[in-house]
Chain A
Amino acid sequence: MSVDTAQPTKDDARTTRRKPRRRSTKDRLVIATMIAVPTALVVWLVWLPALASVGLSFTRWNGFRLENIEWVGTQNYRDITTIYPPFWPAIQHNLIWLVFLFVFPTVLGMLLAVVLDREMRGSRFYQTAFYLPVVLSLALVGFIWQLFYSTDQGLINEVFGTRIDWYGDPDINLWAVLVATAWRHTGYIMLIYLAGLKGVDGSLREAAAVDGANEVKTFFNIIFPVMRPINLIVLVIVVIESLRAFDLVWIVNKGRNGLELISALVSQNVIGEATRFGFGSALAVIMMVISSVFITVYLRIVFTQDQEEK
């Protein structure tokens, strides 16, 4: 990104000989620094730890002394997939999370954005109300919803006279947590679409109206396609949010009993009392592989489309 400022980057560093161009030594130094520093940071903070995790995932280590690291081959992976009961539920829950976020909060957020974009009375108020949860940390969101969900003292059970164990019943608690997540996520998506809608050229709507398109048609055939960049951003956000989902289940019950997520399993094994760094790393690697699949697919789509357009 920093490269953008220095237009034709392709050939400068290597081949000064071809065009002894207008770029001064100073410029080149600046460019080199701007590339080298972020690269070093990325290597140091992202790639080295990632590779170290891969390495550690084949060992058993209690996290205390390096000489305690013991090579165990693929045992961690074998254990995870065979005798570690929370693993398969965790994979399943992560996928449910992803699909759910795509289907409900995203669509709802888009709908809210379209409605609020019409400048009806009090729309500022609604905007604020819907966006408010986004400002709260997920930890706080978890706590707020605990007040609704508590079996004995929670609002929902009080109002409806039920005795449902929202956070404790493993058949329900994932959905209860997803609703809480959606409460927050909807506002986020809404705001992004709202910004997108405001940016759509008004003349497009007028043109559509002149051509006799109704509102629904206008939205799906004109407005929605125009907002492609926004849609891509939302796509990425949803995927990232669901893969890194963690805070809420950790607050609720540390990711156990129906709320297993890969990220929570990683934490359970390396944070706090437990010191299964090898085992935790193996879980982290699995998570990394899954993420890579999504990221690759996403990048592919983006690049192919960009090329097609050019």
Chain B
Amino acid sequence: MSGSRPTPSTTIPASFAATRGWTRRNMLIASGLGLGGAALLGGCGGGDSSGSGASAEPGAVRFGVNEARGSGPAFQRNEAMANAYAAAQGVEVTLNAVDHNTFQESINTYLQGTPDDVFTWFAGYRMSQFAENGLISDVSDLWPVDGMGEAFQQASTAPDGNQYFMPAGYYPWAVFYRKSVFEENGWTAPESADDFDALLQDMDGKGITPFAFAAKDAWAPMGTFDILNMRLNGYDFHMQLTKGEQAWDSPEVRQVFERWAQLLPYHQQNALGRTWQEAATSMANGDCGMYLLGTFVVDGVADVADDLDFFTFPALDDTIGNDALDAPIDGFCVAAGSDNQAAAKAFLQFLGTAEAADAANSEADAPMIAANSNASTEAYGALQKKSAEVVQQASSIAQFLDRDTNADLANTVITAALQDFIRTPDRIDEITTSIQQQAQSILGTS
């Protein structure tokens, strides 16, 4: 997946689930339900209780970017923001651009060595984990940020109640398809479970594989697990599961795998050897009808980008509905190891502004939506506009399985288990039992 998009996931874990999942419309209701226990804590940031008390003061900064120079829009956006800041403040911003996977794999040693002042990172468990271990700086004195709602503040908050993160943008996971292919065949985006089944049957009957599917990158199938879990068991269950409060061998989780097993015949075969770029190509050339992925799918099929459209995964259980989805937030942190805290914070503050978002948007087309609601939407393409709408309509938003879950569990156990399931879908009992045994060992619960 080199040279590609912000692998949504390879990266992020996150956990404290409740914190991370934020709810837009129903914020209050949600926290009322206890969904947001952490949310309550989240609100009370403010004082810079922890060590790095320096207040923001512009100066030269080093900026660690998790995309290699010349690797595409994701890098260009970061570069554009850095340039805008340098021009506005008259200070030097030194970019340290590192290949995405290399950056992810060396993040622990990077932060414990001599990190750049500000670096690209993700909301979620991993942000919290770094915060708990003192590797990133408390930036609660920069919050609240003008143009960012409470949901973003909550997503930037570690369990200690302080903010450690500055959101830049986010992107939803949805079902993508080519408009022309759907028109040709008289298909429409399914509204209900019945529509959905009918669509699958019809595609199958016409010799088109309904779902493009790739699982070579172990994070990719997590998107399917997430959406089925949120459709069948609801957002609350999903967040409890990622927090470790629900068992992986529970009937609910088995139900998800069972439904998935029924859907697998409608997915591309041989998924375990396929990258998401190859799967995207199968959708682009019409072999497959749809593809469930993050909006970064556009980067894989730039030729037909104008012909792409998407719908949110339909409800499978009417009592649960379809208003929850995955929409991971990307953003920035200040490294605690930086001896340049004041300048770092000033730069971080800038990165959260609408001005920074505009600089990024005007530089490169990327399927991200700016976190700052004051950012101009003029440069948005049709997909971005629709993404923003869809996310705003969603009542509950999760980050992603490996951004919400304990990193050890997500990366060493669930990845392998999902691949195992795709290979042998009839071994659901063994697989879920194995996940649960390992989860108990890793999380120290019993």
Contact = CB atoms under 8 A, between A and B. Distances in A.
B272 A165 contact: yes
B412 interface: yes
B437 interface: yes
A37 interface: no
A91 B426 CA distance: 25
B442 A256 contact: no
Contacts of B106: 271-272
A152 B410 CA distance: 29
Given A168-B216, A168-B271, A173-B273, A256 B407 contact: no
B229 interface: no
Contacts of B416: 85-86, 256-257
B411 A274 contact: yes
Interface in A130-171: 149-153, 163, 165-170
A273 B410 contact: yes
Nearest to A271: B105
B62 to A, nearest CB: 22
Contact of B273 (A60, A75, A166, A274): A166
A151 B270 contact: yes
A152 B402 CA distance: 28
B274 A151 contact: yes
Nearest to A272: B105
Nearest to A153: B278
B107 A272 contact: yes
Contacts of B407: 273-275
Interface string B102-139: 00111110001000000000000010010001110000
B438 A83 contact: yes
A254 interface: yes
B372 to A, nearest CB: 28
Contact of B408 (A75, A166, A173, A276): A276
Contacts of B269: 163, 165
B10 interface: yes
A74 to B, nearest CB: 13
B270 A165 contact: yes
Contacts of B126: 273
A85 B415 CA distance: 12
Consensus secondary structure, chain A interface: loop
B11 interface: yes
A165 B134 CA distance: 45
Among B12, B134, B420, max chain A CB count under 10 A is at B420
A27 interface: no
Contacts of A75: 441
A167 B216 contact: yes
Contacts of B215: 168
B273 A168 contact: yes
A275 B408 contact: yes
Interface stretch (A46-54, A62-70, A224-232): A62-70
Interface in B387-416: 402, 407-408, 410-412, 415-416
B179 interface: no
Nearest to A270: B108
A165 B423 CA distance: 12
Interface string A230-260: 0000000000000000000000011011000
29 contacts: A62-B129, A64-B133, A64-B134, A65-B133, A65-B134, A83-B434, A84-B438, A85-B416, A85-B420, A85-B434, A86-B416, A149-B273, A150-B278, A151-B270, A163-B270, A165-B270, A165-B274, A166-B273, A167-B216, A168-B270, A169-B272, A169-B273, A256-B218, A257-B272, A272-B10, A272-B108, A273-B104, A273-B126, A273-B410
Given A64-B134, A83-B434, 5 more contacts: A60-B444, A165-B270, A167-B216, A276-B412, A276-B442
